[in-house]
């Protein structure tokens, strides 16, 4: 489970979208917009972006091998879904359905 200490931010009341990014990752920018849009549309959902280069210990612990990687957490911080690459909005919404 992931919480405030690991994420550096609070969990969403219903779910949390966690994005691992790097500074020069082009798909990370599109992913940031998509996740922020979905979090803004769905009440109780938070979006947390983590710089993978600054959090190497967490990256290794979670087995993150490329950016962007998105984790969908339920309200308790359990990982429900994970995906690499820039997600489509519909896929993010579907993944949230499994978390809430």
* pLDDT of amino acid 98: 86
Tens digit of pLDDT for each residue in 82-91? 999 999 999 9
Q: Can you tell me the distance from the alpha carbon of 100 to that of 98, in angstroms, rounded to the nearest whole number? A: 6
Tens digit of pLDDT for each residue in 55-83? 999 999 999 999 999 999 999 999 999 99
Q: Can you tell me the distance from the alpha carbon of 95 to that of 24, in angstroms, rounded to the nearest whole number? A: 26
Per the listing, tokens 């911080």 go with 77
- CA angle in degrees (0–180, nearest 5) for 74-97-14: 35
């Amino acid at each position: 489970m992931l919480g405030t200490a690991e994420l550096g931010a609070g969990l969403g009341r219903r779910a949390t979208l966690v994005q691992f990014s790097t500074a020069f990752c082009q798909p990370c920018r599109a992913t940031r917009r998509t996740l922020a849009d979905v979090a803004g549309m769905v009440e109780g959902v938070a979006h947390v972006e983590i710089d993978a280069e600054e959090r190497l210990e967490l990256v290794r612990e979670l087995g993150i091998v490329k950016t962007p990687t998105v984790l969908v957490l339920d309200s308790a911080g359990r990982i429900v879904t994970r995906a690499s690459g820039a997600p489509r909005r519909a896929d993010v919404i579907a993944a949230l359905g499994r978390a809430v």
